[in-house]
Amino acid sequence: MANSTQFSHFILSAYFDSGHLKYLFFTVILLLYVVVIISNFLLIAVICVNRSLHEPLYVLLCSLFVNELYGSAGLFPFLLLQILSDSHTVPTSLCFLQIYCLYTYGNIEFGSLALMSYDRYLAVCCPLHYKTHMTQNRVAVFIVVVWLFSFIKCMVTVVFTAHLLLCGNIINNLYCNNYLIMKLACSDPQVNNIYGMVNGFFSIVTPMTLILFSYTRILQICFAGSKRTVTKAVSTCTPHLASLMNFFFGVCSETLLSRLDMSALPQLLRVVLSLYFLIVQPLFNPFMYGMRMSRLRKACKNLLRCLA
């Protein structure tokens, strides 16, 4: 038996021989990556350049778009290389680096969406106190806490996994996955499991509680308020709810695929579902918020007009 650091590489067994279609897949993934970079960079630039958008909601959105670029950088270049490769192996150090990147991305995404839920709760339910509760300094502190806490939590996760004794180095996935590496363990992963439960409380239960509380209160206000209140709540919350549902669907799909036997599903469908939240979310968010939020849409048009 040897710990994971004594394997020089991991083998990704979920890739299949696509023949000349691999060039088509490469082109599609490359185009998607270009769209992700351009769309998220555009909205980050729009928010940074326009002082009128230096408000809590848009600062939170800027943090969300930066995270989309960060998570995409941990997946897209890796996929492009693997699609063209014939061996589908990844060095051990790079594998754990990818796990760290993708896990921090997921944690920051969930934490950011929870903060935005709280922001929408204050805007709809406590509009008179919104500016006193959501100051720029307080929002900056919230964002720093979410990012730093996610980096620290995921670092501990990767360190624990890297010190497990493994009996093999074959990962049945398209990219490195912490849970699938733990399944290769010969030693007892009890410490990992305990930390996983603690980490899950802070990474899943806490943000979910804040999201459920925020939208429960928003719904109460909507049912008790006037038609104008309902319209305002719907218009301000629709992009965020759509982003939340898209993220939840992707995370649930990836979790079920890695933990349950999904061999009955067609292989192409398993591939799409395993990559869904890592590819679709960075594409979905900039278009959803850019199209649905009138101030952001107008600012984008003005910036593009100036560049043209």
- Amino acid making up residue 45: A
User: If residue 266 lies in a helix (H) or strand (E), which one and from where to where?
Assistant: none
Per-residue pLDDT, 158: 93
With left for phi above 0 and alpha for psi between -120 and 50, is residue 88 left, alpha or beta?
Answer: left
How far lies 244's CA from each of 18, 81, 239, 280, 291, in Å? 33, 30, 9, 12, 16
Per-residue pLDDT, 2: 45
- Amino acid making up residue 87: S
Per-residue pLDDT, 6: 65
Give the 3-state secondary structure of residue 85: coil
Maximum distance among all alpha carbons in the chain? 67
* Per-residue tokens: 295: 């101030």
| DSSP 8-state code for residue 90 | E
Residue 165 φ then ψ, to 5°: -85, 120
Report how far Cα 90 is from the mean position of its chain's Cα atoms.
Answer: 22
User: Would you mind telling me the total number of residues written for the chain in this entry?
Assistant: 308
Integer Cα distance of 197 and 182 in angstroms: 14
Per-residue pLDDT, 290: 82
Residue 9 CB burial class (10 angstroms; 0-12, 13-18, ≥19)? middle
Domains along the chain with CATH numbers? 2-307 (1.20.1070.10)
How far lies 279's CA from each of 23, 86, 264, in Å? 18, 23, 23
Q: Are 102 and 75 in contact (CB under 8 A)?
A: yes
* Per-residue tokens: 115: 């903060």
Residue in this structure with the two tokens 């699938």, named with its chain if needed: 180
Give the 3-state secondary structure of residue 276: helix
The pLDDT tens digits along the chain (308 residues) read 445 546 788 999 888 777 788 899 899 999 999 999 999 999 999 999 888 888 999 999 999 999 999 999 999 999 999 998 888 899 999 999 999 999 999 999 999 999 999 999 998 888 888 888 899 899 999 999 999 999 999 999 999 998 888 888 899 889 999 989 988 888 777 888 888 888 888 888 889 999 999 988 888 887 776 677 677 777 778 888 889 999 999 888 888 887 777 777 777 788 888 889 899 999 999 988 887 777 888 888 777 777 66
Integer Cα distance of 109 and 132 in angstroms: 25
Question: Which ranges of 163-226 does DSSP label H, i.e. alpha helix?
Answer: 178-182, 190-200, 206-224
170-171 sheet: strands from edge to edge: 89-91, 9-12, 170-171
Residue 45 CA neighbour count, 13 Å, CB half: 13
Residue in this structure with the two tokens 């629709």, named with its chain if needed: 238
Integer Cα distance of 43 and 56 in angstroms: 15
Q: What share of the chain is helix, strand, coil (3-state, %, to 5)?
A: 80, 5, 15
Pairing of strands 9-12, 170-171: parallel
Integer Cα distance of 82 and 52 in angstroms: 43
